[in-house]
Amino acid sequence: MRVGYARVSTGEQDEALVQQMARLEKTGLDKIFTDIKSGKSNNRKEFNKLIALCKKGEVKEIVITRIDRLARSMVSMSKAIALFEEMGIKLTILDAPIDDISNPFSKFSINQMGALAQFESDLLQSRVRHGYNYFREKNKAPSHVPFGYARIDEKYAPDLSLHESGKTNWTIAREIIDWMIANKSSIRGTAHHTQACYGLRWSVTGFHNWIKNPVLRGHTRYNVHNKQHKPDLWDIRKDTHTPLIDASTDEQLQALLIDNQRIWGGNRLQGNRGTGLLSGQIYCGCCDGKCYVSRKDKDLLVCNKRNVYGKSYCSNKKATPLSKVCEFVDAALAEKAIILRDFVFSEDEPEPRELVELKAKLESLEKIPKDDVIEDAIAKIKLKIQQHKKVTPNLALVDEWVQTFSDIRYFQLLPQDRKSELYRKFLSAVVIDNGSIIRVEFVDIV
């Protein structure tokens, strides 16, 4: 297999990625892998797929436009080149033709180009780092602006743009905080109130991060990336702009949050995700959100989006027992097994009369002189013939379905992990709403 690899560092370089792919396509490759990721990263999904194919011996040649598209780290590049050499894979670099990567002169050229690529990357990082330091020295506001604020002249300022309610976002932000304190509300309750009154959708985690943000207290913070929950690692510059939350209000908020922590345990989500039968396969019939079992009652399914955003977002109020859903699903699978058991696929089955007539019409039309009308008629008949073609079923899956679900009592005696595996294999979704099962959607195997 001849494959290509293209890479850019950010999504803003889409045009460069398109240009790389266009050049690679002209070489007649079987497949092209693309990543939008730093060349220094070892977590490039498509690159790792390419390497896995190489290790399986399925790749004969790899084509890239430049050596720095392969990697910008000498270590990563050397490992890749060594693998290619070991597996007898030809490496073609469009901008630097190299005939044989095992040749000493070729290795020397690749190492020089790789060293230059890493030097350019290190130099760019150094410039970016100096730029960030200058940015922080001037106390400039980062591009991510919390609700209630706007970024004006690279500084935080009250957001005086009008919300659809007719109030400014600055006013609404303050009203949310005042309501939370006045009603001694939990974070979840305040997030639900915000959704109901202003149409502002916040998850519990999102609202918690907002209410704890130092920006609301008049401070500018840096070094937050990947450290959202580690405030001791933040770089905070005090009193850089107008605070939304003054010292007195902040004191009340902190006391309320501590009280919430004691009562509600931090307002964490109540759904048990990723565990149990049909986990991740059950959807809400109202808002299409996923439904999970409640922490309080592990047999009751609740809509996760209603749990997060409140009743104004989703009307699926009544919980549905998981046992009831499983019973319904098992019956549907057993019914489908009976239908599949009677399914017969035969190559010798006579063609339908309509299909025979369509083929006769097509044959007649193709014999007469062509014009736009005739061409259009031929295209429509070909489409109808295509729609009549039988789809070859996956007979192995059909047989497994019949064997598994014809005796539903046997299926129900299987261990839970095996049942979960079979549910995922044959079911695409189960839709519930207010205590009822709306429908079961099967995987299409016929």
- Which amino acid type is present at position 217? R
Handedness of CA 229, 230, 232, 235 (dihedral sign): negative
Query: pTM of this prediction?
Result: 0.52
pLDDT, tens only, 311-328: 888 999 999 999 999 999
Between helices 104-137 and 74-86, what is the axis angle to 10°? Answer: 150
Q: In what order do the strands lie in the sheet with 291-293?
A: 291-293, 300-303, 320-321
Q: What tokens appear for 332 in the block?
A: 């549907």
Per-residue confidence band for 345, with pLDDT thresholds at 50, 70 and 90? very low
Name which of 300, 291, 304, 310 is nearest 188 in CA terms: 310
How far is the C-alpha of 377 from the C-alpha of 388, rounded, in Å? Answer: 17
Please compute the mean of the pLDDT values over residues 147-151 and round it to a whole number: 95
Asked whether the beta carbons of 332 and 340 are under 8 A apart, the reply is: no
Q: What tokens appear for 442 in the block?
A: 């099967």
* Burial bucket for residue 107 (CB in 10 Å: 0-12, 13-18, 19+): middle
Q: Is 9 a catalytic residue?
A: yes
Strand partners, 432: 284, 437
pLDDT, tens only, 79-103: 888 888 888 898 888 887 776 666 6
Between helices 169-182 and 187-198, what is the axis angle to 10°? Answer: 140
3-state SS record for the chain: CEEEEEEECCHHHHHHHHHHHHHHHCCCCCEEEEEECCCCCCCCHHHHHHHHHHHCCCCCEEEECCHHHHCCCHHHHHHHHHHHHHCCCEEEECCCCCCCCCCHHHHHHHHHHHHHHHHHHHHHHHHHHHHHHHHHHCCCCCCCCCCCEEEECCEEEECCCECCCCCEHHHHHHHHHHHHHHCCCCHHHHHHHHHHHHCCCCCHHHHHHHHCCHHHHCCEEECCCCCCCCHHHCEEECCCCCCCCCHHHHHHHHHHHHHHHHHHCCCCCCECCCCCCCCCCEEECCCCCEEEEECCCCCEEEEHHHHHHCCCCCCCCCCEEHHHHHHHHHHHHHHHHHHHHCCCCCCCCCCCHHHHHHHHHHHHHCCCCCCHHHHHHHHHHHHHHHHHCCCCCCHHHHHHHHHHHCCHHHHHCCCHHHHHHHHHHHEEEEEEECCEEEEEEECCCC
Phi, psi for residue 368 in degrees, rounded to 5: -95, 160
pLDDT, tens only, 37-49: 887 787 888 999 9
Q: Is 139 left (phi over 0), alpha (psi -120 to 50) or beta?
A: left
Handedness of CA 104, 109, 114, 119 (dihedral sign): positive
Asked whether the beta carbons of 316 and 435 are under 8 A apart, the reply is: no
In the numeric block, the tokens 């770089």 are attached to 235
pLDDT, tens only, 4-49: 999 888 755 677 888 898 899 888 999 999 998 887 787 888 999 9
- Among candidate residues 9, 109, 203, 294, the one labeled active-site is 9
Asked whether the beta carbons of 308 and 204 are under 8 A apart, the reply is: yes
Percentage of the chain with pLDDT > 90? 35
pLDDT, tens only, 225-273: 778 788 888 989 999 999 999 999 999 999 998 888 777 654 444 445 5
Across the chain, which distance is largest between two alpha carbons, in Å? 89
Per-residue confidence band for 68, with pLDDT thresholds at 50, 70 and 90? confident
Per-residue confidence band for 166, with pLDDT thresholds at 50, 70 and 90? very high
